Amino acid sequence: MKKLMVLDGNSIVNRAFYGVSQNLTTRAGQPTNAIFGFLNILTKLLDEGKPDALCVTFDRKAPTFRHLAYEGYKATRKGMPDELASQLPLLKDVLAAMNIPMYELDGWEADDLIGTISQKDTAAGWETVIVTGDKDSLQLVTDTTTVKLVSTRMGRTTTRDMTPEAFREEYGFDPIHIIDLKALMGDSSDNIPGVKGVGEKTAMALVQRYGSIDDLYAALPEVEMAPGAPAKPGVIKKLTEGEDQARMSYDLATIHTDAPIDFAPENNLRKEPNGPALYQLFLDLEFAKLIDKFHLTAPQGEGAVQEEASAQVNTASEVVETRERLEELLALWRGLDEVNVLALPSLDVICVEWAETETEHRAALLFADKLECYNDGLRTLFAPDIKKVVHGSKELWKGLLDEGIQPGGIVFDTEVAAYLLAPTDGSYDLEKLGITYYNQEFPKAKAYLEEGAFGPLADPAGPTAALLSHTALIGALRKTLSQRLEELGLNKIYQEVDLPLCPVLAEMEEIGVLVDRGALVEFGEMLSQGIDKVQAAIYELAGEEFNINSTQQLGRILFDQLGLPPVKKTKTGYSTNAEVLDKLRGRHPIIEQILDYRQLTKLKSTYVDGLGKVIGDDGRIHTCFQNTVTATGRLSSAEPNLQNIPIRTPLGAELRKMFVAGPGMTLVDADYSQIELRLLAHMAGDEKMIEAFRSGRDFHTVTAAQVFGVEPEQVTHEMRRSAKAVNFGIVYGISAFSLSQDIGVTVAEAKAYMDRYFATYPGVRAYMDHVVERAKADGYVSTLMGRRRWLPELKSSNFNTRSFGERVALNMPIQGTAADIIKLAMLRVRDRLKAEGLRGQLVLQVHDELIVECPQEEQERVCALLQEEMEGVFPLSVPLVAETHAGQSWAESH
């Protein structure tokens, strides 16, 4: 039999909407998560089910015959969220472009259309697969109709096929009697009343015994719950009094199969999509990955460009093969305002493009294997006197440093600019930016760039054409992005912070930080001995050997064998995560041993073994400082992540001993003291908080004294700990519940702490309220230096999403400003080290901490330099305090 797949459009799009991150929007603010999720579900269904024909049904807003029959039908349902409603027309446009037939009819629900279609298909000899998340459709299950139930959780979609056999196994009666079940128990989602007082358990038993409500009511009053088990008088009374409601509910729950639609399976055979139309829609929706997934290409002969891009420019290109020609071009480039440069990651190929007129450009390609003076040309091209626009200046700078070239003259980086304009986008590939800003797909040059496979210039679709296209795109983006930076007030932070920081980061990556490999190996051996000892203790306490890393085996030991109370269960059994084990502390000595085991094994595998694998031939670790990743502007560290070295436990802190200074050198560490709280005081303008910082006293002790109404010398350790938790929690928009978890008090006590805190610092409460209200009005928050984060979450109809947006609105201005300040400090420290001719160099940045490696004789000067530059980098109403220490290792200097 041929297969027809029928999608319940409203059901699937709802599940997609709530199952995919609701932060997915276009640059213009149009939500797209439901469309994106729907298409992912659809493509998965098509790949797995391979139907011959396909169609989608939708509900309409008009009242149906059910609403007319019962005024309360679906009356308790909330209206469709605006974020979802705005996506439905766009989804239908996409489905139309995919040549997928859609059916909807005033006065009829999608379920009735599905039922009608399934009946017509059966008569025509087709097999039908109904895809829905709504169990109402289970009544349509027959030998030729399967219902594929869809569920989506945490962005992951699963399906379950309900055949007659599968249905009977689960319910104990035939699929058609799902109507009788609903007639008795009702349906709260559709506001179908059912029989008052009859719940699911009773209804299931009655339907399993009698099948239909007709047979059930024919048996009254001698009703049995099972053969030989008479129903209680109360049940009989409810059934008797509720017969009218049961029969009305039966009618409401019945899917009609006679909707007046013109349907034939053959008219729904799958077709190729309308490529140009679908391509344009995906461009508008900024679905770059789906363009690749659907193998779509730009329409030939159509611009589809919203702004000036390379497609509007004629570019004449040449390959440079002689020193004389290169010298001519270098002299020409020195006299231009700027040139656009794209370099192969290996630096074996460089493409330079420049404008002669608005529409006439020229491009020169430099190939290492075609130009004998290539290295000299590279050095001259990247000298400061030729102004260059590039994409990804940090990586380019690092590559040039690796070649012994000290570059300069990079005046614009399109990657960094795109990040600053949209810090939550996550990816700033050139291809994606072409779609985002110009609604135009550019040739996929990445593979060519990585492989270095270049064809003749005459090949218009070849890899060389892709390289030229990308270089032209850099030039087009330079104009667009610089204009937008100016419009949004971001040009200052771009020019003074983010762009000049790129070479600083490249230099730090090039230098790296020295690791005592021998000490690291010894530490690993010590951890191994500790692991063996703890493992033996766990086996003894458990009474047997087992795989401690297996959740299932550990769960069996803890909860089945030792009888500990289960805290949380998952689909696969008992949960044994950190939260569960923490709640079991003190219940059995094995818990502490397991926690110790996990700490030791993580230290060994992640840090000792992990760090050992990435030590370079020079004995140093060269981490990658990522400057276009975080939404707050903070730097992150990867390959390996040195910002995640654990320091709160004694063993974790031991790791810092492995990072050392070279022979005759020392490490100088400077760390901002409570910078985020100081920024809160400044930004809130709270006089008491400002005065507390100006006094130089311990801020947590001052806060504890004021919150608890005691003298500072009477503040206990617990009082200070609670005050510290509140101080830092406020910065992150903490709730009373979360605070109670952090400090081990009741929610009421935590709320009382927070109330006293806001009474002590009323300016903070006013500031927080103002920030959130301003963010809702503006759609974004910003740092003191103007860095922005857009917050579409604040307009969400979903409470959790909206609450997340409010927490971000409170936190980002403070955390982002701290990030801006540490970046400025890095620039000033690096520049001053060079200006004073010191040999010291920045080697690490970790959160609010800078580390310089310098000769021992420079230690005192570098300590003073770090403190002066970090404390004087940005004017605040409270002092910025940087504490400096020096030592032979990171541990000693911290």
CB 359 within 8 A of CB 314: yes
Distance of alpha carbon 59 from alpha carbon 341, whole angstroms: 53
What separation, in Å, do the N-terminal and C-terminal C-alpha atoms of the chain show? 73
Those residues whose C-beta lies under 8 Å from the C-beta of residue 194, and which sit 6 or more positions away, are 182, 183, 184, 185, 186, 187, 203, 242, 245, 246, 249
Residue pLDDT, tens place only, 361-414: 999 999 998 899 999 999 999 999 999 999 999 999 999 999 999 999 999 999
* Cis peptide leading into residue 640 (ω within 30°): yes
* Helix, strand, coil % over all residues of the chain, rounded to 5: 55, 15, 30
Those residues whose C-beta lies under 8 Å from the C-beta of residue 515, and which sit 6 or more positions away, are 611, 615, 619, 620, 621, 658, 659, 660
Q: Which residue has the tokens 């990308």?
A: 470
Residue pLDDT, tens place only, 754-805: 898 899 999 999 999 999 999 999 999 999 999 999 998 888 877 878 888 9
Least confident of 195-199, 318-322, 462-466, 776-780: 462-466
Tell me the percentage of the chain whose pLDDT exceeds 90: 59
Distance of alpha carbon 604 from alpha carbon 527, whole angstroms: 6
Which tokens go with 873?
A: 């980098």
Nearest to 380 by CA among 398, 358, 348, 407: 407
Residue pLDDT, tens place only, 27-71: 777 889 999 999 999 999 999 999 999 999 998 887 777 777 777
Distance of alpha carbon 19 from alpha carbon 9, whole angstroms: 15
Between residues 357 and 861, which one has the greater pLDDT? 861
Strand-strand pairing, 849-855 and 841-846: antiparallel
**Residues forming beta bridges with residue 341, ordered by sequence position:** 352
Three-state DSSP state, 188: coil
Domains of the chain: 2-171+255-266 (3.40.50.1010), 318-511 (3.30.420.10), 514-621 (1.20.1060.10), 676-817 (1.10.150.20)
Which tokens go with 341?
A: 């440069």
**Residues forming beta bridges with residue 84, ordered by sequence position:** none
Residue pLDDT, tens place only, 470-509: 899 999 999 999 999 999 999 999 999 999 999 999 999 9
Those residues whose C-beta lies under 8 Å from the C-beta of residue 274, and which sit 6 or more positions away, are 97, 98, 99
Residue pLDDT, tens place only, 801-820: 888 899 999 999 999 999 99
- Ramachandran bin of 538, using left for φ above 0, alpha for ψ from -120 to 50, beta for the remaining angles: alpha
Task: Read off the pTM.
Answer: 0.78
CB 307 within 8 A of CB 283: no
Positive or negative torsion for Cα 766, 771, 772, 773: positive
CB 887 within 8 A of CB 893: yes
Three-state DSSP state, 355: strand
Residue pLDDT, tens place only, 727-760: 888 877 788 888 888 888 889 988 888 898 899 9
Distance of alpha carbon 385 from alpha carbon 882, whole angstroms: 37
How many residues appear in the chain? 894
